[in-house]
Structures are given as structure tokens and as C-alpha cells.
Chains A and B, each alone.
Chain A
Amino acid sequence: NAGVMQNPRHLVRRRGQEARLRCSPMKGHSHVYWYRQLPEEGLKFMVYLQKENIIDESGMPKERFSAEFPKEGPSILRIQQVVRGDSAAYFCASSPDPDYGYTFGSGTRLTVV
């Protein structure tokens, strides 16, 4: 049973471009969480999704950021018009149930140049 798969592992974007980060949860997991870790900081919650639904997006910046978890395929975190301050490690986690602890992926390291 593969773990939480995130791709790409590393992503370099120029300012103003779009970044798309993908997360395939563990098999049987229908709950997905996205976290961001800025340099020298802890992980910060961004959004919690179930299949086709956003449950909690209280940690998402109001502009340029969006997330989806379609019925088929991976969850996508999309950042439009990236800026240097978006450079961070983005981690996805999944769980089979909201009351279960969750498993993290290895992260995508976004660098904006």
C-alpha cells in the first residue's frame, strides 16, 4: 500500500506563473489536508477536503490559492501568479476518517525565482 504521493517533489516557477501541486492520498483515504511550511517555521494548516467538497479552508490565503479533490484523480493545490513569498514546502496528508490521525506525504518544495 503506497503512502501519500506528492508530485512534483521540487517545482521552480518564475514570479507570475502558476504552480500546480498534486497529492494522491493513500488507498481508502477520502480525507485530504494541505499544510505549508515556510522557512524556519512550523507547518500551517491550509485546507481540508473530502471528495468533491471543501470542508475547511480557514487557512487558505484569500487570493490566488485554490484547492480541489475531484471524484477521480488526485487533489490539486493551485497557486496563481506566484510571488517569492509563496516559496515553501507544501505537505499533503490523508486519513480514512476525520477522527483518525493522518499520514503525510514527502512534500513539494516550491521555489519562486
Chain B
Amino acid sequence: DQQVKQNSPSLSVQEGRISILNCDYTNSMFDYFLWYKKYPAEGPTFLISISSIKDKNEDGRFTVFLNKSAKHLSLHIVPSQPGDSAVYFCAASGRRGGATNKLIFGTGTLLAVQP
């Protein structure tokens, strides 16, 4: 039962253009969403997060949008840079009701930014 889905295994964009990575979830109890970036042979690195009480959070070149009615979130990177090439994981957690702080991850999207 895949509660967090990233349906695009890969994405290729030109340097300077916008990268849009998508994520869908099925569990309405999720109230906190995160994006992680992962290089080969390294652990995931936190990028940006959003609480379910918001619909947008921005940090520099990274913006996350949350559409609760559609159970969909997206990560926008603009402008994209070659150093952004990595696997991006969407993750969700449900902290209400005393749930522990465990994360449910999607399967990842490999972003390749072409110079």
C-alpha cells in the first residue's frame, strides 16, 4: 500500500528553467510534508517542508505547494542548476493523535539538469 506516490521516476530540464516535481498521497491523516534530496552513496538531505495548515512555503529557489483537496504537493525549483541533479524524495508524516515522528517516503524522482 503506497501511501506516498511519486509517479515520475525521472525528469530532465535545462539549466535555468523551472523543475517541477510532483507527489500524491492517499492518507488524509498526514499533516506534515517534506522534500529530501539525495545524491548517490549519501543519505537524504532535508530541503523544505510544509505543514497542512499552509498551502505554500518558499525558501530561496525552492517552493513547495500543497493542495489538500487533491492530496497533492509539488516542489518547484527555479532557476534549476546542474548541482540540483539528484534524486528527490517526497515524505509525509501524521503527528496528530500522538503518532510518532516517522516518515512515509515516496519512491523518488531522479532530476537531471542539463547544462
Contact = CB atoms under 8 A, between A and B. Distances in A.
Contact of B44 (A43, A58, A95): A43
A23 to B, nearest CB: 11
Interface residues of A, number: 27
A79 interface: no
A106 B43 contact: yes
Interface in A34-79: 35, 40-45, 48, 55-56, 58-59
Interface residues of B, number: 23
A91 B36 CA distance: 14
Nearest to A47: B102
A55 B106 CA distance: 23
B26 interface: no
Given A48-B102, A99-B101, A41 B107 contact: yes
A95 B100 CA distance: 13
Contacts of A40: 107
B103 interface: yes
A56 B105 CA distance: 17
Nearest to B103: A45
B41 A42 contact: no
Contacts of B91: 43
Interface string B21-35: 000000000000010
Given A43-B89, A48-B100, A99 B95 contact: yes
Nearest to B41: A106
A31 B43 CA distance: 17
Contacts of B103: 35, 43, 45
Interface-centre pick from B6, B43, B44, B91 (highest chain A CB count, 10 A): B43
Interface string B99-113: 011111111100000
A104 B100 contact: no
B102 A59 contact: yes
A25 interface: no
Contacts of B36: 104
